[in-house]
Structure 1
Amino acid sequence: MRTLVIIPTYNESENIGSIVGRVRASVPEAEVLVVDDGSPDGTGELADALAATDANVHVMHRSGKEGLGAAYRAGMTWGLDAGFGAIVEMDADGSHQPEQLPSLLAALRGVDRPGADVVLGSRWVEGGGVVNWPARRRAISRGGSAYSRIALGLPVKDVTGGYRAFTAEALRALQYDRTESQGYCFQIDMTRRAYDAGLSIVEVPITFVERERGASKMGGGIVVEAMLRVTLWGVTGLPRRFRKRTPAPTAEPVARA
């Protein structure tokens, strides 16, 4: 299964070399696509330099900052068109440890269990966790996942995490290209679409490490977008979820002559 790791970037010049190098060392057979949204700090040029010396590194240059969701949609389309069978989402800042990627891919490929359609790197299952987060940030993240899980009826612990692997068939089935979210709400949207499409979802424990260099892209607008969209999806999806959970009536046996 050819694997593509998509890494969206915006002003990640301090991190891009390290993260790409760690991915290539951890999963040498995987290829990397850096999707740069016109970073003014030169991230795109640094990525080009990496690609010039490694045929398994590719770069997509976009004209400006359009959001995480748009970057992933563009990268996924590129990967599917190129024939990759597995596509991975990963942050550029080192918070998603490339050394844990083999565990996600093993779950996707069915090394120790039946293969999954979608694998979520989860901070909130047994064995997962976060490093260098203050209590407030931890509470916001866990609260956001809990609210999304309850509002949307999702049977997963980490709804908002961004370290994920999909089969190509799963991405097509959940219609990733029809998502509209631009911030981290994109991850919630992808999770609910995967569940609604009946795909198998597995959570693998990861340790999320807070970035050491550069600035976080998490802003108030991203949180507001997520709250509004999740609430809307939750309300409009209630009738469908109720029907899904209500057992079908047992059919009466047909009398035979």
Structure 2
Amino acid sequence: MVMVVPTYNEADNLAWIVDRLLTAVPDTHVLVVDDASPDGTGDLADGLAAADERVRVVHRTEKAGLGAAYLHGFRVALEAGYDVVGEMDADGSHQPEQLHRLREALDAADLVIGSRWVPGGSVVNWDALRRALSRSGNLYARVLLGVAVRDLTAGYRLFRADTLRAIDLSSVRSVGYCFQADLAVRTIEAGLRVVEVPIDFLERERGQSKLSGSVATESLRRITGWGLVRRRDQVRRRLGLLPAPARDQELSR
């Protein structure tokens, strides 16, 4: 198993989170994907890799978005032959000590999502407005896309390698946080099983969030577009104007 950890200006957090991860799950590996961080995160990652063979680093030449970093990391992980590929943030929001919950659930799933919004999940140090925005955004996406996943934008995940091979990563174009919704829906549309397990999501203590207004806008625009296409196609199928559904090829336009 390998956990893909994208970084951009996470020098204050990276060594701390990698140490926690390797302590909590000693048999996992870590793939750091750094987008040319100007604060020296890439050099720090190289030092961690030199000190521990379980750590590997991929250096990218520019900051190109969360989705692009994960896609790069997934390709490297699949080429390396890992059977399980995970995602987690570098800022401590996802607790490595809870990774065992996702790993245990993978026995009966193709994708496991560490969810803030299922019973037993929680968010620490968010105000009421931010909680409401996240809950309502996930509800909007869930209803519009017609899926039962309660935390579509969650970024603490484990994929079977075969799942990533089945969902056509080469056609993914989403780069922001809607990337997470995109891959979850693709997994469902491929007839694979998605399971959510509760986690405690902690707001970062050090460094700055990478979530910007433009990223949120891109996510809303893409999810709305996907949802409208899905609803249109459902109507056309009922009218006999489309064949029985295969996986929705409109995702990631």
Same fold (TM over 0.5): yes
Rate the CA distance shift 1:243–1:170 in 2: closer, same or farther, 3 A.
Answer: farther
- Offset, 1:179: 1.1
- Residue 212 of structure 1 is matched in structure 2 by 205
2:217 & 2:179 partners in 1: Cα distance?
Answer: 13
1:245 & 1:154 partners in 2: Cα distance?
Answer: 19
- Residue 252 of structure 1 is matched in structure 2 by none
1:240 & 1:22 partners in 2: Cα distance?
Answer: 46
Candidates 195, 205, 211, aligned match of 1:202: 195
Partner amino acid for 2:166? A
* 1:103-252 matched pairs, under 5 angstroms: 103-110=101-108, 116-241=109-234
The answer as to 2:72 corresponding to 1:74 is yes
- Residue 253 of structure 1 is matched in structure 2 by none
- Residue 57 of structure 1 is matched in structure 2 by 55
- Offset, 1:174: 1.3
Rate the CA distance shift 1:88–1:245 in 2: closer, same or farther, 3 A.
Answer: farther
Task: Decide whether the 8 Å contact of 1:153 with 1:241 is kept in 2.
Answer: no
- Where does the alignment leave 5 or more consecutive residues of structure 2 unmatched? 245-253
- Offset, 1:65: 0.4
- Residue 89 of structure 1 is matched in structure 2 by 87
Rate the CA distance shift 1:180–1:30 in 2: closer, same or farther, 3 A.
Answer: same
The answer as to 2:35 corresponding to 1:45 is no
RMSD: 1.6
- 3-state SS of paired residue (1:32): strand
Larger radius of gyration: 1
1:97 & 1:136 partners in 2: Cα distance?
Answer: 23
Partner amino acid for 1:38? A
2:201 & 2:235 partners in 1: Cα distance?
Answer: 35
The answer as to 2:34 corresponding to 1:36 is yes
Task: Decide whether the 8 Å contact of 1:159 with 1:187 is kept in 2.
Answer: yes
- Residue 23 of structure 1 is matched in structure 2 by 21
Partner amino acid for 2:4? I
Rate the CA distance shift 1:213–1:242 in 2: closer, same or farther, 3 A.
Answer: same
Rate the CA distance shift 1:29–1:245 in 2: closer, same or farther, 3 A.
Answer: farther
- Residue 249 of structure 2 is matched in structure 1 by none
1:222 & 1:202 partners in 2: Cα distance?
Answer: 26
- Residue 254 of structure 1 is matched in structure 2 by none
Partner amino acid for 1:220? G
Using the size of structure 2 for normalisation, the TM-score is: 0.92
Using the size of structure 1 for normalisation, the TM-score is: 0.90
- Offset, 1:177: 2.8
- Offset, 1:188: 0.9
Residue identity over aligned pairs, in percent, reads 54
